[in-house]
Amino acid sequence: MRIRTGPCCDNNNNNNNNNSNTVDARGLHGRSCRGGNGRSARHHSLNDLVWRAMVKADIPALKEPSGLLRTDGKRPDGVTLLPWKQGKCATWDVTVSDTLAQSYVHETFQTPGAAAEAAAERKRNKYSSLSQSYLFVPIAAETMGAISKDGMDFLCELGRHNVQMTTARAPSSFSDYPF
């Protein structure tokens, strides 16, 4: 098997980002390159998982809501339409960081999940204006699997909602199954 080395994928995709990074022999660059498909695919997969869990738990939610106090056009990935906790609707934003990126590797080597926690803090700062009206949850994950504490707490609570809904819908005995 051969791994391509050479100019960054941005140059191949004609994104004009003037990124002079090269793809190394270990193939690590593609996980963190803004011009590659990997970052976007991981983000969309995790966000879709959250969305499908909301639907399965019968929690009404809206994808990429506009007009939630931000003036720069940025918006979180989703918001519940009913209060989630403390009388506030939950809004979330997903991000996936490359565990082995040069900017994180020193911290992730010493502390598992450090890149996810750093990314979650950046998201909290980015959406700090939402905290007055919404419960903002950053769902920050790493390519090697770690998920930020707030993100994991949110996903676990969402999982508990799904268990309750599944249990409520399940027939109480074998004879209750429709045959």
List of E strands, 9-98: 22-23, 61-63, 78-85, 88-97
Domain extent listing, the chain: 1-36, 38-169
Distances in Å between the alpha carbon of 167 and those of 78, 140, 161, 163, 170?
Answer: 26, 29, 10, 6, 5
Contact 15, 39 (CB under 8 A): no
What pLDDT, on the 0 to 100 scale, is given for residue 123?
94
What pLDDT, on the 0 to 100 scale, is given for residue 42?
84
What pLDDT, on the 0 to 100 scale, is given for residue 148?
95
CA distance 168 to 70: 38
What pLDDT, on the 0 to 100 scale, is given for residue 27?
52
What pLDDT, on the 0 to 100 scale, is given for residue 73?
73
The structure tokens listed for 150 are: 């707030």
Max Cα separation, the chain? 66
Mean pLDDT by 10 residues, the chain (179 residues): 40 44 52 55 89 92 83 85 93 90 78 90 92 93 91 95 80 56
CA distance 11 to 63: 32
What pLDDT, on the 0 to 100 scale, is given for residue 8?
44
The one-letter amino acid at 52: R
What pLDDT, on the 0 to 100 scale, is given for residue 177?
53
What pLDDT, on the 0 to 100 scale, is given for residue 143?
86
What pLDDT, on the 0 to 100 scale, is given for residue 50?
94
Place of tokens 């992730």: 108
What pLDDT, on the 0 to 100 scale, is given for residue 16?
42
